[in-house]
């Protein structure tokens, strides 16, 4: 069966190999790990994009804005769970490379407990009282009502989403990207299918979109749990990971290693995704049409960012495994080739979306005034996402090495010092929408430059050496 994503990724790899920019064997291994995660990302981001598009068709721009106000709070599951899972892939990949089975077990169980522990309180809080949170960043009574209705139900899926991230990263760290692809992409497709009757047949609107999110994430968690406990799944077969009966539920040394690696990643995710809170509040100053257009542009940008999901995790896994074996040459080679591969894939994606920004925007909005703003913002995100490619390419080796503080510093500087002030100037001066376009570019461009300089310095290798000395070996 033809897989267009795999064919495209492998085609880019062959071209880069032909040009002499990356090694052929490494390109194959990178592509083999990356494309399933990219498919998963496309499916998951298509799900969020479908939520926005479907509620827009059913209820109009106010519903788009409402879902946009609710999404940053729901995304806390990925901010917190993704940071924990970033530590999971570092610990699992290094222990797989060092052939430490019990260490892998401890990394998975400790990560799962922490991921659930940090998301359950937020799920309860947003589920009971969503309105005050939506009002912090939202404007317009109808849009705020839609946002609260969406968040009240979607928040219940937060712990499931975090656990899915941990399980997914664990499998990628063990060289298996296809199992999480089949589970998470299947859940995302099922979510989109569920949306149709829930939104249009049962007339549940934004609540229907949120209910589909809850059902699909819970189902994915059930499949991951079954696979890890049994070591195999129907239609997938034997899995490279299985929790042993004697696997510890908690290990102090592993928890400390996870905290050291994951905390900066959580903070970095807060700066990256948490920036949507103040940014949406600033965009609200431009008016409701601008909010709807901005939400659409962010959904499109999220789809364009899916190559980074695959290449970043492939880089972290392969670089981490090379570190685990002590092969310095392979460590550097995988880091360099994955970065070049990532930037090339992002370039292809950004060029395609820039060329077809108009037709893409009409899938969400038809109002001429909103459409004009949407097209301009989508094109600005194309420039923004090119820098995102460089950032993700440099982040993979740093995450594998446990050098996770610099990504946090870079993201905070780009957001707080550069992007938010520029957007505010656009909203309050004659700079207007040009300030918003520039803010989108600065938000990724500045962190990309900082992370690339950190990567080129090679100091992450020193961090990796210290990290390896601290890896626990549960007895």
pLDDT in tens, the chain (475 residues): 457 889 999 999 999 999 999 999 999 999 998 888 788 888 878 877 888 888 888 888 888 889 989 988 988 888 888 889 888 988 888 787 777 777 788 889 999 999 999 999 999 999 999 999 999 888 788 889 999 999 999 999 999 999 999 999 899 888 888 899 899 889 988 999 999 999 999 999 999 999 999 999 999 999 999 999 998 998 888 888 888 876 677 888 889 989 988 888 788 777 667 778 899 889 989 987 898 899 899 989 988 998 887 898 788 878 888 887 777 788 889 999 999 999 999 999 999 999 999 999 988 888 888 899 999 999 999 999 999 999 988 888 887 777 778 888 898 899 899 999 999 999 999 999 999 999 999 999 999 999 999 988 878 777 655 655 554 444 4
Lookup result for tokens 């520029």: 422
The H or E element that residue 161 is part of is helix 158-173
pLDDT at 325: 75
**pLDDT at res. 83:** 86
Secondary structure (H, E, C), 51-101: HHHHHHHHHCHHHHHHHHHHHHHHCHHHHHHHHHHHHHHHHHHHHHHCCCH
Q: Is 330 helix (H, G, I), strand (E, B) or coil?
A: helix
Q: Specify the pTM.
A: 0.76
The whole-angstrom separation of Cα 264 and Cα 253 is: 18
Q: Count CA atoms within 13 Å of residue 233 on its CB side.
A: 20
pLDDT at residue 466, as a whole number: 60
SS3 237: strand
Q: Tell me, what's the pLDDT at 214?
A: 95
Report residue 64 CA to chain centroid gap.
21
Domain ranges for the chain: 4-470
């Amino acid at each position: 069966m033809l897989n267009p994503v795999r064919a495209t990724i492998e085609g880019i790899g062959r071209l880069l190999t032909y040009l002499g920019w990356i090694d052929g064997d490494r390109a194959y291994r990178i592509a083999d790990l990356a494309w399933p995660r990219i498919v998963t990302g496309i499916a998951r981001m298509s799900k969020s994009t479908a939520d926005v598009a479907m509620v827009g068709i059913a209820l109009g721009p106010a519903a788009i804005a409402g879902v946009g106000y609710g999404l940053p709070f729901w995304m806390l599951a990925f901010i917190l769970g993704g940071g924990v899972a970033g530590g999971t892939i570092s610990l699992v990949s290094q222990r797989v490379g060092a052939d430490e089975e019990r260490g892998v077990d401890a990394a998975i169980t400790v990560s799962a407990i922490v991921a659930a522990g940090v998301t359950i309180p937020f799920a309860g809080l947003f589920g009971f009282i969503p309105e005050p949170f939506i009002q912090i960043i939202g404007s317009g009574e109808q849009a705020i009502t839609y946002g609260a209705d969406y968040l009240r139900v979607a928040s219940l899926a937060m712990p499931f989403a975090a656990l899915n991230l941990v399980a997914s990263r664990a499998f990628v760290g063990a060289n298996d990207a296809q199992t999480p692809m089949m589970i998470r992409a299947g859940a995302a497709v099922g979510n989109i299918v569920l949306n149709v009757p829930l939104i249009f047949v049962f007339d549940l609107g934004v609540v229907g979109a949120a209910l589909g999110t809850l059902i699909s994430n819970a189902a994915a968690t059930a499949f991951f749990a079954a696979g890890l406990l049994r070591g195999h799944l129907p239609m997938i077969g034997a899995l490279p990971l299985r929790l042993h009966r004697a696997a510890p539920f908690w290990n102090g040394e592993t928890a400390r290693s996870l905290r050291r690696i994951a905390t900066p990643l959580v903070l970095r995710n807060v700066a990256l995704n948490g920036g949507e809170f103040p940014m949406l509040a600033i965009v609200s100053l431009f008016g409701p049409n601008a909010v709807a257009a901005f939400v659409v542009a962010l959904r499109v940008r999220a789809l364009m960012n899916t190559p980074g999901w695959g290449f970043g995790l492939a880089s972290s896994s392969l670089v981490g495994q090379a570190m685990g074996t002590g092969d310095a040459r392979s460590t550097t080679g995988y880091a360099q080739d994955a970065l070049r591969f990532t930037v090339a894939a992002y370039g292809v994606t950004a060029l395609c979306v820039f060329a077809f920004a108009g037709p893409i925007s009409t899938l969400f909005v038809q109002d001429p005034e909103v459409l004009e703003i949407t097209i301009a913002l989508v094109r600005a995100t194309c420039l923004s996402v090119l820098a995102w490619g460089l950032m993700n390419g440099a982040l993979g080796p740093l995450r594998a090495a446990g050098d996770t503080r610099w990504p946090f510093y870079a993201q905070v500087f780009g957001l707080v010092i550069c992007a938010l002030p520029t957007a505010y100037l656009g909203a309050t001066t004659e700079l207007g929408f040009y300030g918003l376009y520039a803010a989108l570019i600065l938000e990724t461009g500045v962190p990309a430059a900082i992370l690339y300089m950190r990567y080129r310095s090679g100091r992450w290798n020193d961090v990796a050496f210290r990290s390896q000395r601290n890896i626990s070996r549960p007895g």
